[in-house]
Amino acid sequence: MKKKQSIYIISDSAGDTAFSTTKAAISQFSDLDVTYHRQSFMTDASKIKSVLETIREDTDPILFFTIVSPDNTKLIIDFCKENNIAYHDILNPMISVIEQTTQITPNYEAGAVHQLDTGYFDMISAVEFALVNDDGKRPTGFLEADIVLLGVSRTSKTPLALFLANNNIKVANLPLVPKAEVPEELWQVDPKKIVGLTTDLNVLRKIRRQRMIAYGLNPDTTYSDEQELIDELEFSKKLYEKIGCLVINTADRSIEETASIITEKLDLGHYKTIV
């Protein structure tokens, strides 16, 4: 049985940095059943104190935080020490190293990484583009995209598109179904902008069965039938060969790994199947 663990995350901005860093660390502990409690835009000392009082009532909580205000940082650390709460300051140790090395005083500006500059708006635009052009809903979007992702159902097209969008890359994706006609717009796209996603048969079958179970449905349907999956994978393979695009096997690969392969390979202009 997994050990239940409460993780609290406090940030003076959106908290994305603290949350993603914390999740990356927790992913190394498969025997933990974690409940996350996230508090964002915590700049007021009284509100921070209120959250800390709530944390104190929990059993063996762990607190991670990204707070740039020296006063609020001290408030959190002193409270945690007084109440034996496990904590980790994610941001300030790094700021301290940079300050000591460069001899430059930091701005102590909450949310500076998310300032509303051109890059931020480009990212928002890319995310909106990925949502509008998800699952082939808008074939003309293929012609506007930086990257077009192809793949049978459950090859991580949508999460990968959104991950790339956070790096200001406009992504459209198209689910591949053997009996469905491929949109004409796809053939107008430069093959160097197209990425074909594939996976292993057993991995795909397991994921689709789990998907059906999650919806409370019978896992043994056409959606997870082995021969159907073989046909779908073979169909996608032949299409990729016809297009001449980069092909990546996503089995046992994280979204981050796949995204890294895409950006690196497309920049290199070298296209081959990654197995």
Q: What is the pLDDT of residue 167?
A: 84
> Do 151 and 265 fall into the same domain?
yes
Asked if residue 145 lies in contact with residue 186, where contact means CB atoms within 8 angstroms, the answer is: no
DSSP, res 139? G
pLDDT tens digits for range 18-56: 888 898 899 889 899 999 999 988 999 999 999 999 999
Q: What is the pLDDT of residue 106?
A: 84
pLDDT tens digits for range 99-129: 898 999 887 777 665 554 566 678 888 889 9
Asked if residue 145 lies in contact with residue 194, where contact means CB atoms within 8 angstroms, the answer is: no
Burial class (CB in 10 A: 0-12, 13-18, 19+), 60: exposed
- Total of domains in the chain: 2
> Do 54 and 37 fall into the same domain?
yes
**Strand order across the beta sheet in which 86-89 lies:** 32-39, 3-11, 62-66, 86-89
> Cα 11 to the chain's mean position, in Å?
19
> Do 87 and 123 fall into the same domain?
no
> Do 180 and 93 fall into the same domain?
no
Q: What is the pLDDT of residue 16?
A: 79
Asked if residue 243 lies in contact with residue 197, where contact means CB atoms within 8 angstroms, the answer is: no
Q: Which residues contact 272 (CB under 8 A, 6 or more apart)?
A: 246, 247
Question: Mean pLDDT across the stretch 78-86?
Answer: 96
> Do 20 and 81 fall into the same domain?
yes
Q: Which range of residues forms the domain containing residue 191?
A: 118-274
Q: Which residues contact 95 (CB under 8 A, 6 or more apart)?
A: 68, 106
**137, pLDDT greater than 90:** yes
> Do 209 and 261 fall into the same domain?
yes
> Do 126 and 109 fall into the same domain?
no
Q: What is the pLDDT of residue 95?
A: 85
Percentage of residues in the chain with pLDDT exceeding 90? 64
pLDDT tens digits for range 206-233: 999 998 888 888 988 989 999 999 999 9
Q: What is the pLDDT of residue 112?
A: 62
**178, pLDDT greater than 80:** yes
> Do 179 and 249 fall into the same domain?
yes
Q: What is the CATH number of the domain that holds 49?
A: 3.40.50.10700
Q: Which residues contact 199 (CB under 8 A, 6 or more apart)?
A: 154, 155, 233, 249, 250, 251
Q: What is the CATH number of the domain that holds 196?
A: 3.40.50
Boundary of a domain, candidates 79, 97, 114: 114
Boundary of a domain, candidates 53, 81, 114: 114
Boundary of a domain, candidates 93, 114, 135: 114
CA distances 114 to 90, 109, 124, 228, Å, are: 17, 11, 11, 45
**DSSP line for 213-251:** HHTTS-S-SGGG-HHHHHHHHHHHHHHHHHHT-EEEE-T
Provide Rg for the chain, Cα atoms. 23
Asked if residue 239 lies in contact with residue 190, where contact means CB atoms within 8 angstroms, the answer is: no
Q: What is the pLDDT of residue 270?
A: 40
Q: What is the pLDDT of residue 17?
A: 80
> Do 50 and 157 fall into the same domain?
no
Q: What is the spatial distance between Cα 57 and Cα 47, in angstroms, rounded to a whole number?
A: 16
Question: Mean pLDDT across the stretch 255-269?
Answer: 80
**DSSP line for 64-78:** EEE---HHHHHHHHH
Average pLDDT, the chain: 89
